[in-house]
Amino acid sequence: MSQTIVSPFIPETITPTSKEGSGNSGRTVGVLFSPHTSNHSMSQYLDFAATKGNPRLVMPDEFRGDLDLLIITGGADLSATNKAFLGRKLSYQHGKTDPHIEFFRTFLLDSYIEHKIPIFGICLGFQLLAAHFGSKMYAHIDGHDVNTGLHMIKSKNHEYKVNTSHHQAVSILGSDLEAVAFSGAGCVNNVECVEAFKHKTLPIAGVQYHPERMYNLLSSSTFKQTGSLVGDLITHELINEIMSKNAKGN
């Protein structure tokens, strides 16, 4: 059994500030915890999770079979040793990794997948899931960093601006995954980058950007009202789809 990871602060002190989610009170939404994520960022994730059910923190060495959804959060870079970078040009700008998230990826992720618990990845979580299912990654995108700003994304039915807080990206999507949204041309060598995907058969999806940071922002040019969720329609639809798969037992 895995060793319990000691947090530098008590996880229970991180609570959502939003009162949303009462309509989904029968659901439990887990947010993967890491002590390397700030209290403020973790509270944003919990607020976001509360739009889909009762939020709770999940430790990176913990398996929770009662979850209706697990959110794998953003954070550091994928390890440079990840198979997603094999045969790819690495960069001296490859950033630090999070050992707690790497522990989860190595020892717990497969258990959640095998039990068909819906999983939604954000930023690092998006990349982690993409790599797990055979995708290839760019180690660094020139001109992209955590403060690049907003950019356009588009799907079959939607087009709007989202934030950009990453310098790595998916270059080739794994064959089990279906691209749902792309950035505008010019991501890398004038080629569109994948901004959202879903698994073709499993209740798994993810987005490269940070919807939790957009939750409390109102901008008619960027966001649309989607029921109780003030955020992007792509994320809203993906999460509803994977949670529906689980509810139907697919």
Grade residue 112 by pLDDT with cuts at 50, 70 and 90.
very high
Residue 13 or 153, more confident: 153
164 vs 13 pLDDT, higher one = 164
Q: What is the pLDDT of residue 136?
A: 85
| Residue 116 scores a pLDDT above 80 | yes
Average pLDDT of span 16-20: 55
More confident residue, 67 or 222: 67
Residue 80: predicted pLDDT: 53
Active-site residues: which are they?
123, 210, 212
Residue 66 in tokens: 């009662």
Angle between helices 124-132 and 99-107 (to 10 degrees): 30
Q: How far is CA 203 from CA 10, 157, 229, 242, 243, in A?
A: 31, 21, 20, 4, 7
- Residue-level pLDDT at 120: 98
Query: Quick one: pLDDT at residue 152?
Result: 75
Tokens of 88: 């790819």
Q: Which helix (H) or strand (E) holds 154?
A: strand 149-155
Q: Which residue has the higher pLDDT, 157 or 64?
A: 64
* All structural domains of the chain: 11-247 (3.40.50.880)
Query: What pLDDT is recorded for position 213?
Result: 79
DSSP 187: S
> d(Cα 161, Cα 165) in Å, to the nearest integer?
13
Going by pLDDT thresholds of 50, 70 and 90, the confidence category of residue 145 is very low
Residue 21 CB contacts under 8 Å (≥ 6 apart), including other chains: 49, 50, 51, 52, 53, 54, 55, 228
Is pLDDT at 1 greater than 50 in this prediction? no
Residues 162-183 have a mean pLDDT of: 83
Q: Is 176 helix (H, G, I), strand (E, B) or coil?
A: coil
Q: What is the pLDDT of residues 203-245, one digit of tens each?
A: 999 998 888 877 655 443 444 544 444 457 899 999 999 999 8
For the cut 80, the answer to whether the pLDDT of residue 156 exceeds it is yes
Give mean pLDDT, residues 195-209: 96
